[in-house]
Amino acid sequence: MVEPRRREILRLVRDGELPAGAIAAHFPDVSRPTISQHLRVLRTAGLIAERREGTRRLYRTAPGGLDDVRTFLDEFWDSRLELLKAETESEQQRGDRGRR
Amino acid sequence: MIGGGEGPLVREIHIAAAPEIVFAFFVDADKLTRWLAAEATLDPRAGGDCLQVHAGSEDGRHGPVHMIGRFLEVDPPTRVVFSWGFVEPECGVPPASSTVEVVLEPEGAGTRLRLTHRDLPSTQVDDHRRGWTQMLERLQRATTRTTEDR
C-alpha cells in the first residue's frame, strides 16, 4: 500500500523542482523529520531525484519515475474509488430519503 | 517499494451503500461517468463492450485517452470483471492486456469493495533496466566474438 503523503509529494514535484522546505510546508500537520523520511524513501525507490544548492536540497520527479504505469494507476484508482464512494453513498442517502 | 512490484494492484474500501447501488456504478454508463470516465459505452454481459474515454489532465499537457475493454464476467450485484487497456501506446497498457476484477460483499448496512487490477505490464523502469542488460549482453557477445576471431 502506498503511503498517501508520498503520493502527494510525487504530485507536488511532478511539474518542477521544489526545495524540501516548500514540500514540508504543504503538510503543516506532519513533522519535518517525517517528511525527510518520505523523501528518503522516494529517493531510494528511484522515484524522485535530489539536487543540493548550497544548504538547500531540491527535489524533482526522477526521469521515468512518475511515468511508471504502476505509480500512475495506484494514484488513479485511489482517487477514482474516493469519488465512487462519495457518489454511491449520496445515491444511497437519496434512496433512503425517498422511502421515508 | 513504492509503485513497484509485479503483483496485482489491490484496493479495498468500505462504502455506506448497498452492493446493488455500487454495482450499478460499474455497468450503467450514466453512473460510471459520474466517477470513472468522461464518456462511456457499456454492454454489461460477458464479451460485451466496455469503452471509456478518460479526460486529459487539467493542465492540458495530456489529451483524452481511450480505454478499450470488454466485460469478462458480470454477476450482479457481487462481481464484475473487465479487460483494461488503452488505444494510446503512451499509456503503457495496451488493449486487453490487463484485467480489473471488482468484488462486492455486504458489510453491515453497506458494502466491502475489493478491486484487483491484474496483469499490469512491468514498469518502465524495469523495461529500461532490461534494455540496458540486453545491450551489455550484446556488447559482451560482440567483444567475445572479436577475441575468438583473432
- Residue B58's pLDDT band, with cuts at 50, 70 and 90, is low
Q: Say what the pLDDT of residue A45 is.
A: 72
Domain boundaries, chain B: 9-119, 122-150
Cα–Cα distance for residue pair B14/A68, rounded to 1 Å: 28
Is B88 exposed, middle or buried, given 0-12, 13-18 or 19+ CB atoms closer than 10 A?
middle
Cα–Cα distance for residue pair B114/B16, rounded to 1 Å: 14
Is residue A94 within 8 angstroms of chain B, CB to CB?
no
Q: DSSP states of B56-79 as a string? A: --TTSSS--EEEEEEEEEEETTTE
Please state which of the ranges A52-61, A67-76, B15-24 shows the lowest mean pLDDT: A67-76
Helix ranges (DSSP H) in chain B: 19-27, 29-32, 124-149
Q: Say what the pLDDT of residue B74 is.
A: 98
- What residues of A are in contact with residue B35 (Cβ under 8 Å)? 80, 83-84, 86-87
The whole-number average pLDDT for the span B46-68 is 83
Is residue B60 within 8 angstroms of chain A, CB to CB?
no
Q: Answer positive or negative: Cα dihedral of A23, A29, A31, A37.
A: negative
Classify strands A48-53 and B79-84 as parallel, antiparallel or unpaired.
unpaired
Q: Is the pLDDT of residue A73 over 90?
A: no
Domain spanning A4-99: which CATH class is it, in words?
mainly alpha
Residue at grid coordinates 491484474: B118
Q: How far is CA B130 from the centre of its chain?
A: 22
Of B22 and B3, the structure prediction assigns the larger pLDDT to: B22
Q: Which three cell numbers stand for residue A19?
A: 526545495
Cα–Cα distance for residue pair A56/A58, rounded to 1 Å: 6
Residue B15 backbone phi and psi in degrees, to 5:
-125, 130
The predicted-structure confidence for A4-35, as pLDDT tens digits, reads as follows 788 788 888 877 889 999 999 999 999 999 99
Classify strands A18-19 and B49-54 as parallel, antiparallel or unpaired.
unpaired
CB A83 within 8 A of CB B16: no
> Whole-prediction pTM value?
0.64
- What residues of A are in contact with residue B111 (Cβ under 8 Å)? 88
Vertex B54 angle, CA B53 and B55, to 5°: 115
- According to DSSP, the residues that pair with B73 across neighbouring strands are B81
Complex-level ipTM? 0.77
Q: Say what the pLDDT of residue B144 is.
A: 43
Q: Do B2 and A85 touch (CB under 8 A)?
A: no
The predicted-structure confidence for B83-128, as pLDDT tens digits, reads as follows 999 888 777 788 999 999 999 999 999 999 999 999 887 644 444 4
CB B98 within 8 A of CB B119: yes
The predicted-structure confidence for B60-80, as pLDDT tens digits, reads as follows 666 788 999 999 999 999 999
Domain B9-119: CATH superfamily is START domain (3.30.530.20)
